[in-house]
Amino acid sequence: MRTVTLAPENAPKAAISAQVADGFFSRFLGLMGKKALPERHGLLLSPCNCIHMMFMRFPIDAVFLDQEYRIIKIIPHLVPGLGLGICPKAKACLEIPSDTAEKLGWAAGQKLIATHMAK
């Protein structure tokens, strides 16, 4: 799975590293069964405009993005098993550890820039 580093346009120090899940099975499995995400790491689901928290073990922030990686909506602290996130206009969803979006100062309207890609 390839990895991308994403940061808001004017805040490169607020970056995270995310694995890209862009195939059917990688999106289907997502973070199910994982025990946690390391700090400043995430999973970028693409395409994606809806997520669930079934079979998850830890809370996350869901950051919904448009086709240009502009943040449309942030749903903080989705609860394992019960959480659901929907954003019909989204093209992707970045799943990050709970409270990360707030700690990094991310907000709706910010554009995330891919600063590095690797396999």
Q: What is the mean pLDDT of residues 18-28?
A: 95
Domain of residue 106 covers: 3-118
Distant-in-sequence, close-in-space partners of 35: CB < 8 Å, separation ≥ 6: 57, 58
- Whichever domain contains 74, its CATH number is 2.60.120.1140
Could you give the CA distance from residue 72 to residue 36 in angstroms, rounded to a whole number? 25
pLDDT tens, position by position, 71-115: 999 999 999 998 899 999 999 999 999 999 999 999 999 999 987
Q: What are residue 63's DSSP bridge partners?
A: 74, 94
The whole-number pLDDT of residue 65 equals: 98
Q: Which two tokens stand for residue 51?
A: 């997520």
Instruction: Answer for the pair 17, 117: CB distance below 8 angstroms, yes or no.
Output: no
pTM: 0.94
How many domains does the chain contain in total? 1
Grade residue 66 by pLDDT with cuts at 50, 70 and 90: very high
At residue 90, the pLDDT reads 98
* Cα dist from 10 to 14, 42, 63, whole Å: 9, 20, 18
What is d(CA 33, CA 56) in angstroms, rounded to the nearest whole number?
Answer: 6
Report the sign of the C-alpha dihedral through residues 53, 20, 33, 77, in that order. negative
108: phi then psi, degrees, rounded to nearest 5: -55, 140
112-118/3-8 β-pairing = antiparallel
End-to-end distance of the chain based on CA atoms, in angstroms?
Answer: 6
* Residue type for position 2: R
